[in-house]
Amino acid sequence: MSGWLVRRALQAVATFAVALALLFLLMRAAPGDPLHRLSADRPISAREMEALRARYGLDQPVGTQLAAFVTGLVRGDLGVSIEHGRPVTTLLAERLPATMLLGGSVLLLNFTIGLWLGVRQAVRYGQREDRWLTTLSLTGYAMPSFWLGLVLAWLIGVEWRLLPAAGMQDPLLSSDSSLAVRTGDVLRHLVLPVLTLSIVSIAATMRYQRAAMLEVLRLPYIVTARAKGLSQREVTWRHAWRNALFPVITLFGLWLPILVSGSVFVEAVFAWPGLGSLAANAVGSRDYPLLMGASLLVAALVVASGFMTDVAYALLDPRVRLG
Amino acid sequence: MDMGKVTALMPRARRIDILVALATLTPLIEAAAQANRRPATSIVIVTGGQATLPIPTLMEGGENSVGNLDVADQLFLRLANLGPKLLTTGDGDFVPALASSWTRRDSITLTFDLDRRARWHDGTPVTARDVLFTINRAKSSAIAPRLSELLRQVVSVTAEGTHRVVFRYARPYAEQLYDATFHVAPLPAHLLDSLPPEQVARADFVTNPVGSGPYRWVRNVPGQFMELAAVPDHFLGKPKVDRVIFRTAIDASARLNLLLGGQADAMDIIPPPPDNLRRVVADTTLRLISVPSSTVGYLLFNQRDPKNRARPHPILADIRVRRAIRLGLDRGLLVQAVFGPHGAVPYGPVSQLLWIRRGAPAPEPANVAEARLLLAATGWGDSDGDGTLDRGGRPLRLTLSLPNTSGVRRQMALLVQEQLRRIGIQIELQQLEFPVWNERRSAGNFDVDFSAVSQDASPSGLTQAWTCTGGSNYAGYCDRRVDSLIEAAIVGQGDPSEIWHEALRQIEEGAPATFLYAPTFVYAVNRRYRSVTISPQSSWITLWKWSVSPTAVSDRSE
């Protein structure tokens, strides 16, 4: 097992290195210059442009820029954002907690409620509850999250004023408020964006889990378990569910990076101060250092989630590591 | 009913569930209650641009943003501010700020006397040393390339005593006072002059700036908001609004939701379409304020062939075609459709912010018949009857490039396409990602470019795009008479207003572009604020003079 783990870890590192080089080169190859943008709505002199180009190292050949980037990366320095004028690592560190909170909450709801409902549907296959949940999950799955976000923000935040329409905290909350009140304030702001993202993701997880469970529930060993007189709960959760987890683990591996990079619209609609909106703006402005920093983070997450998925497979099914 | 009896009747597990639910909900409810008891004399302003580095000499490149300027104008005072007429020439239309007065010694020397009551937020007096330090940093192209360009005419700044500074210029010109006062606000030398210039951007000062303005720095919550507090003993007077929050929401719908959902008291620039304005108007707690904007939008005609810049453009090099396009467009209708009543057709490349707009001639109205005649005179006719003009077997087809990020331009481009179709010109819309659009524009790779620029208060900025050697002249437009008129207006020979108008007439005559829109921006402010004025120079610069309605204060007090 340990040899297998080392091999997989080395593969992950190599994948990350290739991703890094490709990201860097593709970014430079894409049309659009980060400094031309500055002259879009304001006259900018050639001298000023030259000085800015030198400041951000953009006057150097691409190879030199890549070498400088890798050297900085080794030191933990991702450079200075062209748009924000601040170190990229600081910017990412500032925005990461908000993204983790939003993404983590969605993942938690997704893989508790989604799994539970999926299993419940499979166990009650063909019954009224299954049909209802199928209709609900298909509706949720078909709903575009940015549209849903706009509707929820308008209806609940503006028309009914039940919850904040946007933001992550109330800036006017008294500074001597207790930790509980401040936490409560963040939770109030969290509800709508989490709801928006969760409705779609829970629906997807339910569909996957239901299909996987149905397949397992038809297998002979489940019939044997029932014939042995085991309770429905034991058959479902101890015998069937474990073997129905594989497709869901794959789904988890896919969701993990998407929740960091894929909530751009929802972050924008709810003015949620996460990485998604920061990275989206960096794309629009060709802010190379920030874009590289954000892309590396997502690449690391993709590689890490792939690695974790493989490890989870290996733990659940010895054939994976032996084969 | 006694709650004790009720709980005693419940099973233990159920009781625990309820207790857990209550424990979870209590902070939520308390937070909601606190949100409804907002401090009375505060203001939350929701903006699209986040302040990232609101330090005068550091606002270069991407940091020269509205978000930074808005906050910097609260923290740092300039020597003087533009007056109500926004007149940038001469010495008359300026309002004292850090400088209590100024005098002209000769045509190239200005002296400023600093207000002796002025203090930095740490209590240290503002002195001539601070002004010298700041201007010297700003004039260094290595530190501040943008500012050093803007201040290139300032030869030296010297101190006479502790509270007088003397500016000397390279030559006489009309905007000397404007250059000395507008571009950069003084920084505290006692906190910064020991730091090497390259370390300032990473210094503590950047995260806790000490300024001289009516508001001091409190905190920045990245990506969310920036909080400022009133300086109670400020020498210009104590601000009546105690606490100012600049809250960021990049997405326009999120900004509107914050405003309409009661989470913000004011919003800058309600974005088109007009339906957004109707939603705000429907909220009776809000008042709308129209402010002249610095934006001007136009169709820029490339006079050089995009495929070979050495050759003239095969269609647009002919002035008659360019004029025909202008005459074929009902620009008033376009502005009305996109901006409603909050826009105007400009005469020349002049936003509503520029003082030279006053007294300028009226823009030429649409004249489709004249446009058709002009096109016919250049040999364009509809030989095959397909509705599109052609000449020598080639259709009159032009590409209109625009960035896909601009809703206003996307909407207006469709209307332009339709209006020009009526006179036989086929327009292909090319919506490009912003950096790609901008790169092509800078390289002169376009037929017609849908440009929109943001101008500062000085008309001298027109040299960049509308003179033969201007750095932003991407379309190959060159009229020596325009160059000499602009130069004469900048130097201030005769009546600058007359000369500027003559320059605009000459630009309109040459039709290097069709100037489409100069909008007014619409701001929304809660009605509980009084004495509300919004300056086109810097939206919230007069905030320290606002007050809060006494009735509203008691309603909202904790």
> What is the 3-class SS of A22-55, one letter each residue?
HHHHHHHHCCCCCCHHHHCCCCCCHHHHHHHHHH
Nearest C-alpha neighbor of B98 from the set B112, B88, B86, B82: B112
Q: Is B262 on the interface with A (CB under 8 A)?
A: yes
Contacts of residue B58 in chain A, CB cutoff 8 Å? 85
| Calpha distance B110→B120 (Å, rounded) | 24
| Calpha distance B126→B159 (Å, rounded) | 13
B72 phi and psi, to 5 degrees? -60, -35
| Calpha distance B320→B371 (Å, rounded) | 9
**What is the pLDDT, as a whole number, of residue B557?**
36
Q: B 471-490 residues with CB below 8 A of A?
A: 471-472
For the packed helices B480-491 and B496-510, what is the interaxial angle rounded to 10 degrees? 160
For residue B19, is pLDDT > 80? Answer: no
pLDDT tens-place string over residues B141-192: 878 888 888 899 999 999 999 999 999 999 999 999 999 999 999 999 999 9
User: Chain A residue with minimal CA distance to B442?
Assistant: A36
Residues 6+ apart with CB under 8 A from A138: A203, A207
Q: Quick one: three-class SS letters along B402-457?
A: EECCCHHHHHHHHHHHHHHHCCCCEEEEEEECHHHHHHHHHCCCCCEEEEEEECCC
**What is the pLDDT, as a whole number, of residue B275?**
86
Pairing of strands B426-432, B397-403: parallel
Whether A116 and A210 have beta carbons less than 8 Å apart is answered as no
B106 phi and psi, to 5 degrees? -155, -170
Neighbour-count burial of B405, counting CB atoms closer than 10 A to its CB (0-12 exposed, 13-18 middle, 19+ buried): middle
- Smallest Cβ–Cβ distance between B223 and the set A94, A170, A284 belongs to A94
CB atoms closer than 10 angstroms to residue B332: 14
For residue B23, is pLDDT > 70? Answer: no
| Calpha distance A83→B438 (Å, rounded) | 16
pLDDT-above-90 percentage for chain A: 46
CA distances from B115 to B80, B89, B209 (A): 11, 23, 21
Q: What is the CA radius of gyration of chain A?
A: 24
Tokens of residue B12, six digits: 């233990």
Of residues B28 and B324, more confidence is placed in: B324
Q: Residue A1 — pLDDT band, cuts 50, 70, 90?
A: low
Q: Residue B554 — pLDDT band, cuts 50, 70, 90?
A: very low
Q: Quick one: three-class SS letters along B314-347?
A: CCCCCHHHHHHHHHHCCHHHHHHHHHCCCEECCC
Q: Residue B21 — pLDDT band, cuts 50, 70, 90?
A: low
Contacts of residue B262 in chain A, CB cutoff 8 Å? 161
The alpha carbon of residue A295 is apart from the nearest alpha carbon of chain B, in Å, by 18
For residue B248, is pLDDT > 50? Answer: yes
- Smallest Cβ–Cβ distance between A172 and the set B38, B261, B433 belongs to B38
The alpha carbon of residue B394 is apart from the nearest alpha carbon of chain A, in Å, by 30
Q: B 236-255 residues with CB below 8 A of A?
A: 243, 245, 247-251, 253-255
For residue B18, is pLDDT > 70? Answer: no
Tokens of residue A59, six digits: 């006057």
**What is the pLDDT, as a whole number, of residue B558?**
33
**What is the pLDDT, as a whole number, of residue B130?**
97
Q: Is B208 on the interface with A (CB under 8 A)?
A: no
pLDDT tens-place string over residues B31-63: 666 655 556 689 999 999 888 889 887 877 667
Report which secondary-structure segment, H or E, holds B398.
strand B397-403
| Calpha distance B272→B67 (Å, rounded) | 20
- The number of residues making up chain A comes to 323
**What is the pLDDT, as a whole number, of residue B6?**
47
User: Chain A residue with minimal CA distance to B461?
Assistant: A43
Helix/strand/coil for B223: coil
| Calpha distance B72→B53 (Å, rounded) | 9
Give B164-213 as a DSSP string. Answer: EEEEEESS--TTHHHHHHHS-----HHHHTTS-GGGGGGSHHHHS---SS
How many CA atoms lie within 13 Å of A147's alpha carbon, on the beta-carbon side?
A: 6
| Cross-chain residue pair B34–A177, CB shorter than 8 Å | yes
What average pLDDT does chain B have?
90
Nearest C-alpha neighbor of B507 from the set B355, B323, B348, B345: B348
Neighbour-count burial of A143, counting CB atoms closer than 10 A to its CB (0-12 exposed, 13-18 middle, 19+ buried): middle
Nearest C-alpha neighbor of B95 from the set B182, B215, B183, B187: B182
Nearest C-alpha neighbor of B552 from the set B6, B2, B39: B39
Tokens of residue A35, six digits: 């400094």
pLDDT-above-90 percentage for chain B: 73
| Calpha distance A197→B111 (Å, rounded) | 61
pLDDT tens-place string over residues B55-85: 887 877 667 788 899 999 999 999 999 998 8
How many CA atoms lie within 13 Å of B329's alpha carbon, on the beta-carbon side?
A: 27
Helix/strand/coil for A317: coil
For residue B438, is pLDDT > 70? Answer: yes
B185 torsion bin: left (phi>0), alpha (psi -120 to 50), beta (else) = beta
B246 phi and psi, to 5 degrees? -100, 105
Pairing of strands B80-82, B94-96: antiparallel
Q: B 28-47 residues with CB below 8 A of A?
A: 28-32, 34-35, 38-39, 42, 44
CB atoms closer than 10 angstroms to residue A308: 15
| Calpha distance B245→B63 (Å, rounded) | 20
Taken in order A234, A235, A236, A237, the sign of the CA dihedral is positive
pLDDT tens-place string over residues A43-82: 567 777 787 788 888 888 989 999 999 999 999 899 988 8
Mutation target to probe the A interface, by most A beta carbons within 10 A, among B250, B255, B300, B437 is B250
**What is the pLDDT, as a whole number, of residue B29?**
64
| Calpha distance B396→A314 (Å, rounded) | 66
| Cross-chain residue pair B435–A45, CB shorter than 8 Å | no
Tokens of residue B377, six digits: 């005179």
Contacts of residue A94 in chain B, CB cutoff 8 Å? 222-223
**What is the pLDDT, as a whole number, of residue B273?**
81
pLDDT tens-place string over residues B513-549: 999 999 999 999 999 999 999 998 889 999 999 999 8
Whether B62 and A83 have beta carbons less than 8 Å apart is answered as yes
The alpha carbon of residue B389 is apart from the nearest alpha carbon of chain A, in Å, by 33
Q: Is B282 on the interface with A (CB under 8 A)?
A: no
| Calpha distance A92→A224 (Å, rounded) | 53
- Smallest Cβ–Cβ distance between A32 and the set B52, B263, B435 belongs to B435
For the packed helices B274-281 and B252-260, what is the interaxial angle rounded to 10 degrees? 10
| Calpha distance A171→B227 (Å, rounded) | 8
Lowest pLDDT segment from A81-85, B59-63, B315-319: B59-63
| Cross-chain residue pair B472–A44, CB shorter than 8 Å | yes
CA distances from B255 to A284, B49, B119, B159, B175 (A): 20, 11, 35, 46, 37
Of residues B506 and A250, more confidence is placed in: B506
Between the two ends of chain A, the Cα-to-Cα distance in Å is: 11
What is the rounded average pLDDT of the residues B74-98?
93
What ipTM was predicted for this assembly? 0.85
Neighbour-count burial of B290, counting CB atoms closer than 10 A to its CB (0-12 exposed, 13-18 middle, 19+ buried): middle
For residue B17, is pLDDT > 70? Answer: no
Q: Residue B2 — pLDDT band, cuts 50, 70, 90?
A: very low
Query: Which pTM does this prediction carry?
Result: 0.87
